Chain A
Amino acid sequence: MKFGILINEGPYNHQSADSAYQFCKAAIERGHEIDRVFFYHDGVNNATKLTEPPQDDRHIVNRWSKLAEEHGVDLVVCVAAGLRRGIVDDNLAAGFRISGLGQLVESGIRSDRVVTFGD
């Protein structure tokens, strides 16, 4: 099955980034396809390479980058939501790209299911 993923909440502040990551990993392991992960609202904060959690904590941003590198998952940050929150190309972590909201709608059209992670 082909999944589109929408993440609406920021990392560390909220469970949605963790749940979405676990979901993506489990889906890929079971042979499903992640069409795209779209970061919206405060979810765009998943994409900043300035993130530096304590050593003993999970690194949410690097975890996404690794998922993109190993499985070619398309990580898309909403340009408008990103600009509002200071997420731009200069501080974008590896594996992410910035694009428009059309990418979310497009993924909805193309995927069998869209799963939202947020409040």
Chain B
Amino acid sequence: MTESTGGIEMEEDMSGTVKKFAFINRKAPYGTIYALESLEVVLISAAFDQDVSLVFADDGVYQLKKGQATKAVGMKNFSPTYRALEGYDIEKLYVEKSSMEARGLTTDDLIVDVEVLDSAEMAALLEEQDVVLSF
């Protein structure tokens, strides 16, 4: 994750501007690169001291599944990074309830502590965001 830490220098002084950023993760972790590259943006946003929330919906809930074993498919298991987010002061993780339940998962299956929101609560959360990036 160190390769993408360039470019964080500010072009103008925006210190003090804190916006609410929500990153919506909707894809399974390894079939496409979206999950991994989303995580890279999330980590960079932490360097900007923004108010960051992560949302996991649809197949995106699989990103947090315990016991990811990726060796056989030749991919790096990046799921431990989600546990490290706390160290970057990224502590607001939300899972969409019906997505989780539709996949037979409970919070016990997930590698991090999350808040489970139903669709109305999720809509309210997104309504109050300044920037929503969906991957």
Contacts and interface: CB of A to CB of B under 8 A. Distances in A.
Contacts of B50: 105, 109
A interface: dominant SS: helix
A79 B134 CA distance: 20
B3 interface: yes
Contacts of A114: 131-133
Interface residues of B, number: 30
A8 B41 contact: no
Contacts of A79: 3-4, 6-7
Interface in A78-105: 78-81, 83-84, 99-105
* Interface size range on A against B: 20 to 34
B11 A106 contact: yes
B70 interface: no
B6 A40 contact: no
Interface in B9-40: 9-12, 14, 17, 19, 21, 33-34, 37, 40
Interface in A37-64: 40-41
Contact of A109 (B6, B44, B47, B48): B48
A27 B8 CA distance: 27
A84 B92 CA distance: 30
A99 B44 contact: no
Given A102-B48, A104-B41, A116 B134 contact: yes
Interface of A: 6, 8, 40-41, 78-81, 83-84, 99-106, 108-110, 114, 116, 118
Which 8 pairs of residues, A with B, have the shortest CB-CB distance?
A: A100-B7, A102-B8, A80-B4, A100-B6, A108-B131, A99-B7, A101-B44, A102-B7
Given A40-B41, A102-B9, 14 more contacts: A8-B34, A40-B37, A79-B3, A80-B4, A80-B37, A100-B7, A100-B8, A101-B8, A101-B44, A102-B8, A103-B7, A109-B19, A110-B12, A116-B134
